[in-house]
Every structure is written in structure tokens, then in C-alpha cells.
Structure 1
Amino acid sequence: MRIVIAGGHGQIARRVERLLADRGDHAVGLIRNPDQADDLRDAGAQPVVLDLEATPAESVATALVGADAAVFAAGAGPGSGVDRKQTVDRDAAVLLADAAERAGLRRFLVVSSMGADAQSTYEEPGFQAYLRAKGAADDAIRSRASLDWTILRPGSLTDDPGTGRVSLAPSTGRGSVPRDDVAAVLVELLDAPHTAGMTLELIGGSTEIPAAVAALR
């Protein structure tokens, strides 16, 4: 499989790239900063320098032609302002969806956030802007009948070693989850067409990842 990952230098993205490379798939990481290219190669991915904040959809579509799936794993980051949360967490996700449609690509995964809501009333302004941007992006992608989308909403992310066991459902309740396990779930979802059209929450749990994904109906 050829998988294109937006936000290819992110912590979850590089974990996904390593997992894909380990199983013999071809991962392509979209990055804005060419200085990050060697990190992607080290993870077993092909780097493609492409700024989703400054590139039209028709140009992004070129990078998606021939791909089996796209994963939106980009984010402006916790230190970014409100404007970049809009241009990255919202607008870049919508742009990638537009490009996927142009390229004729159907399978489309999104790394969102638990609590994402275009009308979020979260008290802290920066995180409220983030949740609103993610929520608006999710809403826009859910409206695409031409995409076999799955939206993954992890709980609080940690750098603890993955356990391979999770709770994965439309609603899980609050909790945390290692980035290792988020990446492993994303790779499992790539091979799970029955999850198209689902918005799923993810936290640590007791169910092995393949079984957790297989149980979704």
C-alpha cells in the first residue's frame, strides 16, 4: 500500500511511518520544512516537501495520485496562535480532503481530538480554538460522500510505551493513550474498510488493537 501522511514529521506520524515500513508498505510524509526530510527517511518514509498552508488543492492532489489512503496527522502545535489553528488544524485538513477527491482517493483517516467541536465552549481560549478548528474540520470531512473517511479522536496523548490494548468506540469516556497505540490503531484502521463513516474515540484499555478494530460495526 502507498499511504500519504500529512504532518509527516509529527510524533504520531513518524510512528505510523515506521509501522508501515516494517510491514512493507510505502509511506509518504508531507512536510513543510525540508530540514525534516532525513528524519522521515530514518522512519522509513519518503519525504515530500509541500506546505499545506500555501499550496492549492490541485497541486496537493498530485502527491496523492496512486495512493491507497491518506492520513491527516498535521497540527499547528500547542504553542501556536489561534490563526494557525485555523489554517492548519481546520483548513489544511479540508484542503487534503479536497485534494483526495481530485485525485480519486477514497480512504481518508483523520487524527482529531477528543472533545473536538466547532462550537466548543472550553474555558481556556487557546485550547478552545484548537477544539473548534478540529471540530469544524471533522464536520467538513464527514460531509464528503466521495471519501471513505474515519475520524479518530484520541484522549490525552502520552509518550509512555504502547501496550497494544485500547478502548475504541464512538464514545469511550475521558482518558489517556500512548502515541504508540494511536499509531498502531491508525495502521489497523487502514485495513478496516468497515470503519468508514465512523467517528471514534480512543483511550487506553484492555482490548487488543486488532480485536478492538474488528469489533466496530
Structure 2
Amino acid sequence: MRQNHETVKRSRGRPQKRCDADTLHLIVEAADREFQSKGYAGTSIMTVAQRAGVSTKTLYKLVATKAELFERTIQDRIGRFLLDVVDDVSDDLDPRAALEHILFAFGVLTLSPETIAITRLVISECERFPEVARAFYQSAIVPVNGIIEAWLTTQKDKGLLRFDDVHITSGLLRGMMIMEPQRTAMMAQRGAPHRDEIALRARQCADVFYNGCKA
């Protein structure tokens, strides 16, 4: 009695290539680690490509210059902060709770060891490489300030908070949240704060600010 056997078809040829978006993500992650450990001047496109597991030709196809690569690492970090705030801070959320959430997300972003390392890089190398300072300012400081100022403006327009100048108020709020722990960490007087420390600081800053500015 003859038995029938199914034939298993195997795919032939080269394995499917990664899409450009996935490859770019690997490159940006590799570049972020290289910039943190070696600085801007010490980072080369070749070592980034090797760390990412791609050829320099592939890297240059997706990112034209080292300055653009640095800017993309900043944008990737800031993008996570923006998504966190936009997704979790709704109009229905109590303003005091929303403020604490924004400050916590801002603290996690700016007080992480990775961001502190990048901030040190920018300060130490901005005179030699002005494109570094420009990328950091335009891709990090401006959009983060914009999110906080937009939220403050909305609360003022609703009559929930009172203050004169939104830009000055945002700067005071951001400074209260991060200046002291960021400064001590950047001067190597202590390590970056843990999440529970950041959460406590966000709660206390939210209390002080909200009680002082509520209408």
C-alpha cells in the first residue's frame, strides 16, 4: 500500500532584507551609544556602522552626515517624551495630576544618565562643532519647551492657572524640576537620580507650582 507524502516547499534565494526604517533604527541606536561613550569628535561613521551591523554605504544611504546622525539620535529621544505626554495627558485629566505627569516625563527624559551624557557632550564640544549645539537646541529644547508652554497656555485660557508670561513661567517650572539634580549629576557629585526620586520631585514641584498659580 503506497503512502502519500506531502512535499514541504522551502523558500529559495537570499533572506528578506530589513526595511530602511528598521535599519535606520539600528543605526540611530548604535550612534547614540557611540556619541555617549566617545563624544562627537571621537565618533566615526565607520564605528557606528560596525556597531549597527551595516555597511558604511548603507549608513550613508540613510544618513548623509555625522551632524544629521547626531540630530536623529536627539529626535529619537525627544520623540519618546512627546509620545508619552500626548498619549497620557488628556483634557479630562485633573490639571494638577496632568502637571505632575508632564514634570515626571520631563524629569525622566532630562535626568537620565544617557541625556546627561549627551548634555555634557553638547556643552564640551559646541564651540568646535556648532552644529551639535544647533541640533540639540532645535531638536530637544525647542519641542520640549513647546509642549510645556502649550499645556500652560491651555490651562490659562481655561481660567485654571494665572501667570503673566508663558515663556518665563515655563522656564521657571522646568528649572525647578531639573536644575539642581541635573547640575550635581553633570558635575559628577552624584549619579543620575532614580525614577522614584524623579517621581517625588515631580510631585513636590507640581504642588508648589499649582498652589502658587491656580486661579
Q: Could you tell me the TM-score, scaled by structure 2's length?
A: 0.31
Greater Rg by CA: 2
Bigger proportion of residues as helix: 2
The structure whose residues are more often strand, as a share, is: 1
TM-score by length of 1: 0.31
Asked which structure has the greater RCO (Cα within 8 Å, sep 6+), the reply is: 2
